Amino acid sequence: MKRFLILNGPNLNRLGKREPGVYGADGLDVLEAMIRKEAATLGVLVSFLQSNHEGALIEAIHAAHDEALDGIVFNPAAFTHTSVALRDAISSGTVPVVEVHISNVHAREEFRHTTVTGAVSRAVISGLGFEGYLAALRFLAANKS
């Protein structure tokens, strides 16, 4: 059975509270429930981690590589635009990563248009809301690493 990590970066624990006009009114618990339901339909296993700490995200990516997971669905949030360390962690192994953003980062402030981590990800999905996570999971589940 394929195994995937759903990894969320800083401030995503504030979903439903932080800027609901941008990110929606539902919390991280609702997102995770949607992903669990889709994972069951696809017959895959998912695990979740949300952290506001860059080092914890890096360690989770390293562990996914070491455990030879089948893929990572990753919303690096604000670290998308700045973190060479996360970029290096993604490219330090062979596990495919699909970067996901709830909002359309290209329709927002100019500094959000650059994705340091997206350049080393298999794909980038932006602006589909929570559906972007499901699309990323479906993509990874359907494709050979």
Q: Which residues are catalytic?
A: 23, 101
Nearest to 130 by CA among 19, 22, 2: 22
